[in-house]
Amino acid sequence: MKIETIKTTPIDGQMPGTSGLRKKTRVFMEPRYLENFIQATFDAIGGGTGKTFIVGGDGRFFNKDAIQTIIKMAAGNGAAGVIVSQNGILSTPAASHLIRLNKADGGFILSASHNPGGIDEDFGVKFNAQNGGPAPEGLTAKIFDATTSIEQYKTVDVDDVDLSSIGTTHYGDMQIHVVDAVTDYQALMETLFDFAAIRALFASGFTMRFDAMHAVTGPYATAILEQTLGAAAGTVVNGIPLEDFGKGHPDPNPIWAKDLMDLMMSDASPDIGAASDGDGDRNMIVGHGAYVTPSDSLAILAANAHLAPAYSDGLAGIARSMPTSAASDRVAAKLGIGSYETPTGWKFFGNLLDAGKVTICGEESAGTGSSHVREKDGLWAVLLWLNILAMRKQSVADIVADHWNTFGRDYYSRYDFEAVETEKANKMMQDLRGQFGELVGQSHAGLTVTSADEFSYLDPVDGSISKNQGVRIAFDGGGRAVFRLSGTGTQGATVRLYLEQYSGQGGDIGLDTQTALQNVRDAAFAISAMEATIGRIVPDVIT
């Protein structure tokens, strides 16, 4: 096998974001674009010689071609082995598990997560490190630096690998193992949850609808929910992964999973509805007539985790991203365990998990997970909910109501303003920063500002500091507004406004969410001068 060294030059704009490098699919298909980034990653980790890597993706358009390119480049860079999922279909949490299970040196995950797929939509690639988690900021900085000085990449000129058949083949000395990632992932889930109790729940007549959104979780959910746990055939819908996700938007929220929401709000509703996203790391939970916000879901899962075998001895701590509501903080306080507030991005939970400081983590963007892997895990969250329902023998709505009665309710919503002109979005954020010295004590929409700052995170494990992680404005009476520019889009800027209002214990927990948040929202609009600066106050998506 002859290694080919191909001359190249740097390509602008290959800076990894919160979850790797994301661009339009056609950009990744341009000559040298993917190859430059992959070679830069090999260079940043000290080369590929003698190392083993996991490779797979969510099945979106260009997934199969990209996998073949990466396998050949791994061989060109001297890798000892590549473990790739059958047909290249691999959920992000399953990829994390495979890295840890096989003690691999990292993995390449091909996905743009919840973004639409297709030749005219989005594609992405990220590197996960040896612990199974997303590359930390120090490593992503090295990768970017390597993209700015790259002069060549290495590959081999051989036939593509047959990804349809499980087994081992070779490129010279490099072994290529095609594995059944679904079976490996299911085996892990069986160590965490009481499958017998969940089987009994379904056997009792309990009903469910799981919308896989034509994304990667379909095969996993079908194997576990229907074939193993006894859920009725047809419980999993849209279960076949498609390159364009059936021309849908694989983001599990009430807007993009509207069919599921309509069913759950109807008289024909099953007992629980759930959905997952493009790469399987996010989740949505809905009971009959009861949507569970991701922030509440995190708090409820943490409060009830002891009902599942893997967490019966209690939790070490709970971590949440800064924009996520404080609901889980209240659970941690009651349990007498640590609570941690981190920047957005699952990589920030990695050190806390590795150090044993936390067991469960979550983000308001529908991601929850635990120490079983180093990624958020959509199907894990669904299975934990099922385990809790099996043990408590209450409805989703009753469990949520009990939680609010115990801890109070954190009314919460996120407004997404998509494809905003980057210059205008940056100006709004800069103008907000310029007000920090004068905001405290001001009143807007009947609320008095009690604090205003830019969130900065000091990692308690390695001492690293992450600055400029979002603007926070707190109000008297338990209100909060957070402004942040998202790093998951592929064009323009996505402005995210997070609104929160705590009811207090014994307060009114029965208000309409948007009504409860009206004053916080109006104050946020006024302080940010949003309409004047970006020209919009009507969001594209409200969750």
Domain ranges in the chain are 2-179, 184-407, 409-542
Fold of 184-407: Alpha-D-Glucose-1,6-Bisphosphate; Chain A, domain 3 (3.40.120)
| Whether domain 409-542 has CATH 3.30.310.50 | yes
Q: What confidence score (pLDDT) does residue 543 get? A: 84
CATH fold of 2-179? Alpha-D-Glucose-1,6-Bisphosphate; Chain A, domain 3 (3.40.120)
Rounded distance between C-alpha atoms, residue 87 and residue 164, angstroms: 5
Name the helix (H) or strand (E) containing 201: helix 195-203
Residue 19 known to be catalytic:
no
Backbone angles phi, psi at 415, to 5 degrees: -110, 125
Beta bridge partners, 335, equal none
Residue 535 near residue 423, CB atoms below 8 Å? no
Instruction: Check residue 116 and give its pLDDT.
Output: 94
Residues 174-209: b if buried by 16+ CB within 10 A, e if exposed: bebebbebbeebbebbeebbbbebbeebbeeebebb
Do the domains 184-407 and 409-542 sit in the same CATH topology, yes or no?
Answer: no
SS3 54: strand
Residue from 96, 111, 113, 503 carrying the catalytic annotation = 113
pLDDT in tens, the chain (543 residues): 899 999 999 999 999 987 899 999 999 999 999 999 999 999 999 999 999 999 999 999 999 999 999 999 999 999 999 999 999 999 999 999 999 999 999 999 999 999 999 999 999 999 999 999 999 888 999 999 999 999 999 999 999 999 999 999 999 999 999 999 999 999 999 999 999 999 999 999 999 999 999 999 999 999 999 999 999 999 999 999 999 999 999 999 998 999 999 999 999 999 999 999 999 999 999 999 999 999 999 999 999 999 999 999 999 999 999 999 999 999 999 999 999 999 988 889 999 999 999 999 999 999 999 999 999 999 999 999 999 999 999 999 999 999 999 999 999 999 999 989 999 999 999 999 999 999 999 999 999 999 999 999 999 999 989 899 999 999 999 999 999 998 555 568 999 999 999 999 999 999 999 999 999 999 999 999 999 999 999 998 888
pTM (whole model) above 0.75? yes
